[in-house]
């Protein structure tokens, strides 16, 4: 008797194995923000002067992460999940190594030759080249990490029948969300431990006769390699028997190119990163992320997207078959998913802004305490969101797609309405955290039913690209939210401050009134953002009401 493949015998085990690199890749999405100042200092560069340049290690990762999603799912539809997944994992491992190989003489010499021979310019000084190589390694990492997510979601569709897909998709969503939620905390804790106990680690290995360098921020990326190697071996074994979709058509290179250009133009033009926005201390900081060439980049993005739509409507084998949007579930889920990302960005931005505006003075101790408090409040949003994805899948399997999606958006809308009407300059952080948790639970409940509704309504050979579409739409929703609401909040903040300052008289009274007016205006502007979030959740709820299906059919027992 021939043994069945692991994918058939233990689909949950296979899903656990392939989800480990997804978690590590999501972890690395935010891990760098906790160690970025240390990276700059370790390269002997002044932090204030190079922080903006170094921030590309964050924004470049996010951009490459999103771009790789767009085509990896389709590649897995054409060439099989196993081959594409393992290739992506190898790319992620190579990127993790490159982040730590910034001092390679071969790489630095190649950069110097490129500047002299191609650009006909003197190369940057060595330390700047080091930083550029760290950023390059991060981008390579992201291409592998981002590509694995839609392939893993499509694998869940391959491993489980339609009536049992909701729970595994909820688990993948929870793992991915937990990764980027915990990345900043993990990076900060590990670097602190390395600083306090690094010498003890070296001494322990020396006692074993092994010579190692003192652990530092590079160690965080080197740890990815053995963990990913274990996952690679597991995936090689577990995915041997996975069903390979029937190959239909060719890869749409031209459509992929235009969609990639549209995403690059949109992200650079709006200049908004969810990770950077979640740590912003003021509306001005949010506004500074926008590019000076923003309008031109956005026009270019719009043109590229129009060309993408023209290509997809004409080619025989498009990257995204536009006809799939005739399905009620695909179109309704896409609208709801975009708005879920829009709402999530509001939650990520609002709490850190209010905490920073509450600071009495911008001393180092106050800034550290504010960052700690903002981190806890964001955990109150994101951890419940990740955990709620699992019961969202359970509920979807029993009631269909519509109920958990509508219920989640209703809960999130209530949470936004509460924050928008109750937050004051002295509101308890406990109350704020509870309300943020309500928003997180609501948004988390929608992850599984939205994803399952799309995967179950597309053809078998389109699951990979459908999974990518789910993820990219949510990221685009977050990007658009941060940029558009930043412009709105900046304008409203100035108007509200001027209105409160109108009655102030005298220098001393003016200074005091200015401080009070700034705080109160900031609270009002943030509350308005929350109410916009409630409205967006309501619109998404209306779209979700258009969803149908997903309830398992009960088969009657045969008549005897």
Cα–Cα distances (Å) from 185 to 20, 182, 388, in that order, read: 18, 5, 21
pTM of whole model > 0.85? Answer: no
Handedness of CA 203, 208, 209, 213 (dihedral sign): negative
- Burial (Cβ within 10 Å: 0-12, 13-18, ≥19) of residue 326: exposed
- Burial (Cβ within 10 Å: 0-12, 13-18, ≥19) of residue 515: exposed
**SS3 assignment, position 470:** helix
- What pLDDT was estimated at residue 533? 93
Which tens digit of pLDDT belongs to each residue from 405-445? 999 999 999 999 999 999 887 888 889 889 999 999 999 99
Pick one of 1.10.645.10, 2.70.40.10, 1.20.1250.20, 1.10.357.140 as the CATH number of 326-550.
1.20.1250.20
8 A C-beta contact, residue 21 and residue 231: yes
List the Cα angle 396/400/401 in 5-degree steps.
75
Q: Which residues of 384-413 are buried (b: 16+ CB within 10 A; e: fewer)?
A: bbbbbbbbbbebbbebbbbbbbbbbbbbbb
The residue behind tokens 């709402």 is 343
Measure the CA–CA gap between 365 and 64, rounded to whole angstroms: 35
Lookup: tokens for 207: 């006692």
- What pLDDT was estimated at residue 508? 47
Cα–Cα distances (Å) from 244 to 9, 76, 407, 460, in that order, read: 17, 9, 36, 10
Q: pLDDT tens digits for the chain (560 residues)?
A: 445 555 556 888 888 888 999 999 888 888 887 778 788 888 888 877 777 778 788 888 888 888 898 888 888 888 888 889 999 999 999 999 999 888 888 888 888 888 888 888 888 888 888 888 999 999 999 999 989 988 998 888 888 888 888 888 888 888 888 888 788 778 777 877 887 877 887 888 788 777 777 888 888 898 899 999 999 998 888 888 776 656 566 888 898 899 999 988 888 877 655 555 555 555 556 555 555 667 888 899 899 999 999 999 988 888 888 888 989 999 999 999 999 999 998 888 887 777 777 765 555 455 556 666 777 788 888 889 988 988 998 999 889 899 999 999 999 999 999 999 998 878 888 898 899 999 999 999 999 999 899 988 888 778 888 888 888 888 888 888 887 877 777 777 777 777 766 655 544 445 455 566 777 788 888 888 999 999 999 999 999 999 887 666 544 333 33
8 A C-beta contact, residue 546 and residue 402: no
Lookup: tokens for 219: 């160690």
Which tens digit of pLDDT belongs to each residue from 79-121? 888 889 999 999 999 999 999 888 888 888 888 888 888 888 8
> Domain 7-241 has what CATH class?
mainly alpha
Q: Where in the chain is the domain with CATH 1.20.1250.20?
A: 7-241, 326-550
- What pLDDT was estimated at residue 560? 34
Measure the CA–CA gap between 76 and 78, rounded to whole angstroms: 5
DSSP code of residue 263: H
Q: Which of 463, 155, 147 is nearest to 321 (CA)?
A: 463
8 A C-beta contact, residue 143 and residue 134: no
**SS3 assignment, position 407:** helix
- What pLDDT was estimated at residue 31? 83
DSSP code of residue 243: P
What is 159-214 written as a DSSP string? HS-GGG-HHHHHHHHHHHHHHHHHHHHHHHHHHHHHHHHHHHHHHHHHHTT---PP
């Amino acid at each position: 008797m021939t043994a069945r493949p692991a994918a058939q015998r233990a689909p949950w085990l296979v899903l656990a194995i392939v989800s480990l690199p997804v978690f590590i890749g999501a972890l690395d999405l935010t891990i760098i923000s906790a160690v970025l100042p240390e990276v700059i200092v370790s390269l002997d560069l002044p932090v204030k002067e190079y922080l903006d340049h170094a921030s590309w290690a964050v924004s470049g990762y996010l951009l490459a992460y999103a771009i790789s999603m767009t085509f990896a799912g389709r590649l897995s539809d054409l060439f099989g999940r196993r081959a594409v997944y393992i290739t992506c994992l190898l790319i992620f491992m190579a990127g993790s190594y490159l982040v730590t190989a910034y001092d390679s003489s071969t790489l630095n010499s190649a950069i110097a030759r490129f500047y002299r021979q191609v650009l006909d310019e003197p190369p940057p000084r060595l330390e700047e080249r080091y930083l550029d190589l760290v950023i390059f390694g991060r981008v390579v990492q992201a291409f592998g990490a981002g590509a694995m997510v839609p392939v893993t979601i499509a694998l869940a569709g391959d491993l489980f029948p339609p009536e049992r897909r909701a729970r595994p998709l909820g688990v993948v969503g929870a793992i991915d969300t937990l990764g980027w939620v915990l990345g900043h905390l993990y990076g900060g804790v590990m670097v602190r431990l390395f600083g306090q106990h690094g010498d003890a680690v070296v001494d322990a290995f020396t006692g074993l006769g092994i010579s190692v360098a003192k652990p530092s921020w590079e160690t965080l990326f080197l740890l990815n390699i053995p963990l990913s190697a274990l996952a690679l071996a597991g995936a090689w074994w577990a995915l041997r028997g996975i069903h390979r979709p029937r190959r239909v058509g060719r890869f749409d290179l031209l459509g992929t190119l235009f969609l990639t250009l549209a995403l690059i133009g949109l992200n650079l033009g709006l200049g908004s990163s969810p990770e950077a926005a979640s740590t912003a201390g003021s509306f001005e900081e949010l506004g500074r992320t926008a590019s000076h060439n923003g309008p031109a980049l956005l026009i270019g993005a719009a043109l590229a997207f129009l060309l993408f739509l023209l290509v997809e409507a004409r080619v025989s084998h498009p990257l995204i078959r536009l006809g799939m949007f005739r399905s009620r579930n695909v179109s309704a889920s896409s609208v709801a998913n975009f708005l879920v990302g829009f709402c999530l960005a509001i939650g990520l931005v609002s709490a850190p802004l209010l905490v920073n505006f509450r600071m009495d003075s911008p001393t180092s101790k106050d800034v550290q305490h504010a960052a700690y408090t903002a981190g806890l409040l964001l955990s109150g949003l994101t951890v419940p969101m990740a955990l709620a994805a699992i019961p969202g899948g359970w509920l979807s399997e029993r009631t269909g797609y519509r109920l958990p999606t509508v219920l989640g958006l209703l809960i999130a809308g209530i949470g936004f309405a509460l924050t928008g009407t109750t937050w004051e300059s002295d509101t308890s952080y406990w109350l704020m955290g509870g309300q943020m948790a309500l928003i997180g639970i609501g948004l988390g409940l929608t992850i599984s039913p939205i994803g399952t509704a799309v995967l179950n309504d597309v053809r078998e050979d389109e699951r990979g690209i459908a999974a990518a579409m789910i993820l990219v739409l949510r990221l685009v929703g977050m990007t658009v939210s941060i940029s558009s609401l930043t412009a709105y909040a900046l304008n409203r903040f100035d108007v509200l401050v001027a209105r409160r300052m109108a009655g102030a008289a005298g220098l001393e009274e003016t200074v005091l009134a200015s401080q009070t007016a700034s705080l109160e205006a900031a609270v009002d502007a943030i509350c308005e953002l929350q109410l916009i979030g409630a409205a967006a959740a309501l619109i998404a709820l209306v779209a979700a009401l258009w969803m149908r299906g997903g309830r398992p059919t009960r088969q009657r027992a045969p008549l005897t």
